[in-house]
Structure 1
Amino acid sequence: MNGEKKNKKEKRFEFPTAFTVLFIILILAAILTYIVPAGFYSKLQYDSEQDIFLIENHQGEISTLPATQKTLNSLNIRMSINKFTDGSIKKPIAIPDTYQRIQQSPQGPLAVIMSPIEGIMDTVDIMVFVLILGGIIGLVNKTGTFDAGIAALSKRTKGKEFLLVVFVVALIALGGTTFGLAEETIALYPILMPVFIASGYDAIVCIAAIYMGSSIGSMYSTVNPFSVVIASNAAGISFNEGLTFRIISLILATIITLLYIYRYAKKVKRDPKNSLIYEDMGKIEERFLKDYDPENVAPFNWRRILILVIFLGAFPFMIWGVSKGGWWFPEMATLFLAVAIIIILLSGLSEKEAINTFINGAADLVGVALIIGIARAINIVMDNGMISDTLLYYASSIIRNMNGGIFAAVQMILFSFLGFFIPSSSGLATLSMPIMAPLADTVGVSRDIVVTAYNWGQGWMAFITPTGLILATLEMVDVTYNKWIKFILPLMGIIGVFSIVMLVIQTLL
């Protein structure tokens, strides 16, 4: 009898892995391409070499028009020609009132099976960055640098551990609001996870500090060129419109997030059994603190200090490159490869030991890299199914002629929905703003409210969107998606209500 009970306990339901979750969503996305009508908005793109506009219609035919303000006005695109000629708008934008139903393009079993391969090929630059990062983490761990650094930091933060959470959230939120710091934070988890665990917190606190810092910063973007600036340009306004209100909202949302994390972190620190992942903490600690013994830590000597300084020094350099130097993942991967070579030379390891350590470290993050590619497969299926424009058309139809406050609130909800299907912030901005922004004129509110609703709606959905970064993050730290959902949903509700209230207030100013 006891044996039967034991077997039943062992066979309790386990939430599927990130890979299974993504494949389920991939199949659902393919099913949508059979159900949602295919449609297409004509697209306009500026050709700087010929100084003309290229127009693509629903039949795929390309025509040309003079690149003048008169052309934009005739197409009902209410923005300055300068936004195109100065390079502010590089991507094709949707032309209002041009939506056409087109032949259905359902994505069958073959397309579904091929899409992960296409997704991996499409995100190979990000995957290379992640693998190189994994190799570096392996090297730094092998030298004992992280263990020595954790011990030194633990002594300094004794009794003030939550200050680390405040610092991480504030710093990452600042990066998110200014230049969209998001994918780059993947590098921080292997570094900060041991520190958080050694401080008495669980993995969820570390994820919340990094991921929510990035999410809140990106959601409440102030001058982020990849979201709010592009969206403002596509809406035909300056990004300075509504800036003060967005800054105030960012500060308040960050405080709300910190209070929520503090409440959970305090419970976990008081009693580890209060952790949502208590039963998994053993294997998580084994992974991140397997060689860490606070009573027997290698000295924090000049070699380890130098390795840590070089490793950590790469991050501000990377941030400068992304925000000012036009860098993207190939350049970031190159930077960290150079750092890996320097660390190998400083490590004191033999050539064979150093290379094997780097390879093993990269192997630890293969799963994370593959998840990034599979998540992209979902977007590929929906793009090939030609349903994104239809969803935008339906969304714009819903909010016509609404009251100003209701208009703003519903827009945020609709942008949350659209953000699931179009997770690219710049892609959603250039596609939707020429359609959505003019609707603000019809209900008597400022267009910057539409920009704010877009930014907040898409950012809010990013808390849980499987097609975003969250599954790759959870895979990196061995936490299942359902545990994250259980932690984040209350905060998501609070932030959602707060954002809608702030949007309604903005319409009254």
Structure 2
Amino acid sequence: MANRKETPLAPKATRVPDTYIIIFFVVLCAALLTYLIPVGTFETHEISYQMGESTKTRTVLIPETFKIVTDEAGNPVKQGIRLFEPFGEVGVLNYVFEGFVSGSKWGSAVGVMAFILVIGGAFGIILRTGAVEAGLYKMLAKTKGAEAAIIPVMFFLFSLGGAVFGMGEEAIPFVMILVPACVALGYDSITALLISYGATQIGFATSWMNPFSVAIAQGVAQIPVLSGAAFRIALWVGFTLLGIVFTWIYARKVKANPESSLAYASDAFFRDDLAKNKEVQAEFGLGHSLVLLTLTAGMGWVIWGVVRHEYYIPEIATQFFVIGLICGVIGVLFKLGGMTWNTIAESFRDGAKDLVGAAMVVGMAKGIILVLGGDSPTAATVMNTVLHSVGNMISGLHSAVSAWIMYVFQSVFNFFVVSGSGQAALTMPLMAPLADIAGVTRQVAVLAFQLGDGLTNLIVPTSGVLMACLGAARLDWATWARFQIKFQGLLFAVSSVVVVGAVLMGFK
């Protein structure tokens, strides 16, 4: 009887294509656009803005300098991309390799890919020591009856991290710890994702001081950096409470009926692992304590580096590598789980292997932009023409409608340019002067950018951090999307009301 009930449900899990398939078809659509849309260019200039005691500079496009590239006869040029290009050029079928090797160690794509693999390897070592499982059972024994407090407390802290210092990539290692913790508490991996990565992106989207999002957007828009803080703090509080309530209701439902979770099947890995290692509860000793102490101190080191010294991908990756290495040495010296020196190397390799799929998504997603010609304002690309066309569409509409379209556009554009700072540099030079024409304050234009950029990070499969978090939770994107689409719809509706309301109240 049980098999008969489960059989009809199987097709539903395969209705949403794999992430790689989705990206491949987006690449094909992008390639088609290169045959339909003429390429255009902008001129750029460098702007400066104050952020605290520092003077920041940014190269941005000049909206009024846009021009369609024409041939000798004066006809618009359409640079239809070929199927394959030799000598390191970009063709449709080159998108995977070219995406993998694009960028630098400071960002998309190769830097983020390396970051994900190093984080995965480091936590492969940490988890191999068994200290996390031992600590979990110790915690469960001491917090019996108060485990529900983990949801509001952790959600608040992660949301605060997203708001204060743009926490994003830093959420990946926390997911690796929180997923087994939430499963052990009777919740699921989706709950862990909501209170960690989900919370960081809500904080990121509603921040009043995020240096990688709102500060850059305001600087590019030429309005006082970190202005409008009171409104945004209230916004952050409201969205954080909304997220806590949504997560709390969902978590209670899962705890009451674990099989109702879409992640029930994939969470079997964590349930089995916890059951297999349950005997470590009685063996919690000095070695386990030292590993957890190293992990805690290491997390503090990472946060200190980000907040005080603006550490980014290269530094953070190295910090976690050091943390993993020290934990591995402790594991060998205290013979945790029978670890040897070779075990450190094997665990690093296995941990990285678990996140290879997520890392590859970063490169493939970058390939979409490359097929469209790249994201340089001065290069002749389809992307520049699309940006200019959207700007023209907004002018002439009612101010509230214009602001809402800005929000929708930023949400869609985030699928292609997931980087908050990159999106700000590309879109805000256009949106800021258009806001003036449409009767929308530049502060509202920044708000539309913030919400559109930050909240869609929760679902777009082109987000490397999201895919890495899903990989750590052993949850495929299709399953996550089936769950997240409801919350995403709620966030979109509330954000739409906020943007329109900000126009009507004259938010400056």
Matched, 1:325 2:321: no
Aligned residues: 470
1:189-211 residue CA offsets vs partner (Å, 9 max, x unmatched): 22111101000011111112222
Deviation at 1:240, TM superposition (A): 3.2
For 1:239-296, what per-residue CA distance to the aligned partner results, in whole angstroms no more than 9, with x for missing partners?
A: 233221111111101111111111111111001122123343324534x536332x65
The structure 2 residue matched to 1:474, chosen from 465, 470, 476, is 470
Counterparts of 1:358 and 1:472 in 2: how far apart (Å)? 16
Pick aligned residue for 2:195 from 202, 209, 213: 209
Q: Which amino acid aligns with 2:100?
A: I
Cα distance between partner residues in 2 of 1:419 and 1:235: 18
CA deviations on 1:305-337 (whole Å, 9 max, x unpaired) are: 111111222122112222331322221122122
Deviation at 1:407, TM superposition (A): 2.5
| Residues 471/368 of structure 1: CA separation in 2 closer, same or farther (3 Å cut) | closer
From 423, 426, 430, the equivalent of 1:428 is 423
Q: 2:41 matched to which residue of 1?
A: 40
CA distance, structure 2, for counterparts of residue 324 and residue 170 of structure 1: 21
**Are 1:457 and 2:437 matched, yes or no?**
no
Separation of aligned partners in 2, 1:212 and 1:82: 30
Distance 1:446 1:342, change over 3 A: same
Match in the other structure for 2:18: 17
- Structure 1 residues 268 and 132, CA, compared in 2 at 3 Å: closer, same or farther? same
Cα distance change on mapping 1:222 and 1:489 into 2, 3 Å: same
Deviation at 1:32, TM superposition (A): 2.7
Pairing 1:107–2:81 present: yes
2:13 paired with 1:29: no
Q: Structure 2 length normalisation: TM-score?
A: 0.85
TM-score under structure 1 normalisation?
0.85
User: In 1, distance between residues paired with 2:60 and 2:173?
Assistant: 33
Deviation per CA, 1:452-472: give whole Å up to 9, x if none. Answer: 111111223222212113333
Q: Which moved more, 1:463-472 or 1:230-239?
A: 463-472
> 1:36-435 to 2 correspondence within 5 Å?
36-45=37-46, 87-90=55-58, 92-102=59-69, 103-110=77-84, 111-122=91-102, 123-286=109-272, 289=274, 291-293=276-278, 297-347=281-331, 348=333, 349-384=339-374, 386-435=381-430
Residue in structure 2 matched with residue 52 of structure 1 by the alignment: none
* Residues 89 and 230, structure 1, Cα contact 8 Å, conserved in 2: no
User: How has the CA–CA distance of structure 1 residues 36 and 460 changed in structure 2, closer, same or farther, with 3 Å as cutoff?
Assistant: farther
Find runs of 4+ consecutive structure 1 residues off by over 4 angstroms: 3-13, 80-83
Task: Tell me what 1:68 maps to.
Answer: none
* Structure 2 unpaired stretches of 5+: 70-76, 85-90, 103-108, 334-338, 375-379
Structure 1 distance, partners of 2:350, 2:208, is: 40
Task: Say whether the 8 Å CA contact 2:92–2:371 is kept in structure 1.
Answer: yes
| CA distance, structure 1, for counterparts of residue 297 and residue 240 of structure 2 | 26
Q: Is the 8 A contact 1:201 1:269 kept in 2?
A: yes
Q: Distance in 2 between matches of 1:86 and 1:372?
A: 32
Residues 41 and 257 (structure 1), Cα distance of their counterparts in 2 relative to 1, 3 Å cut: same
Q: Secondary structure at the match of 1:97?
A: strand
Letter in 2 for 1:500: S
Shift of 1:382: 2.7
3-state SS, counterpart of residue 45 of structure 2:
strand
Residue 46 of structure 2 aligns with an amino acid whose one-letter code is Q
Relative distance call for 1:12 and 1:413 in structure 2 (3 A) is: closer
Alignment identity in percent?
A: 30
- Give me the whole-angstrom Cα distance separating, in 2, the residues matched to 1:233 and 1:11: 49
Match of 2:501 among 490, 493, 505: 505
* Whole-Å separation in 1 of the counterparts to 2:223 and 2:365: 33
SS of residue in 2 equivalent to 1:357: helix
Q: Return the alpha-carbon distance in structure 2 between the equivalents of residues 346 and 434 of structure 1.
A: 52
Q: 1:490 aligns with which of 475, 486, 492?
A: 486
Q: What amino acid does structure 2 have at the position aligned with 1:33?
A: T
Paired AA for residue 289 in structure 1? L
- In structure 1, how many angstroms separate the alpha carbons of the residues matched to 2:83 and 2:274? 43
| SS of the residue 1:108 aligns to | coil
SS in 2 for 1:280: coil
The answer on whether the counterparts of 1:116 and 1:374 sit within 8 Å (CA) in structure 2 is yes
> Given the superposition, is the C-alpha separation of residues 86 and 145 from structure 1 closer, same or farther in structure 2, using an over 3 Å criterion?
closer
CA 1:477–1:34 in structure 2 vs 1: closer, same or farther (change >3 Å)? farther
Q: Taking structure 1 as reference, are residues 153 and 413 closer, same or farther at Cα in structure 2, changes over 3 Å only? A: same
CA-CA distance at 1:81 after TM superposition: 7.8
Q: Per the alignment, do residues 238 and 279 of structure 1 end up closer, same or farther by CA in structure 2, a change over 3 Å counting?
A: same
Checking the alignment, whether the CA contact within 8 Å between 1:392 and 1:418 is kept in structure 2 is no
Partner of 1:62 in structure 2? none
Kindly provide the amino acid, as one letter, of the partner of residue 433 in structure 1. Answer: M
Give the C-alpha shift of residue 436 in structure 1. Answer: 1.4
More off after superposition, 158-167 vs 222-231: 158-167
More displaced stretch, 461-470 vs 450-459: 461-470
CA deviations 1:42-96 (Å, max 9, x no partner) are: 22237xxxxxxxxxxxxxxxxxxxxxxxxxxxxxxxxx7879x974232x21112
| Cα 1:459/1:133, change in 2 over 3 Å | closer
* Residue matched to 1:63: none
Q: Please list the CA deviations of residues 343-393 of structure 1 after superposition, one character each: whole Å capped at 9, or x if unmatched.
A: 232112332233223322222222222222222222332343822222221
Q: Which runs of 5+ in 1 are unaligned?
A: 47-79
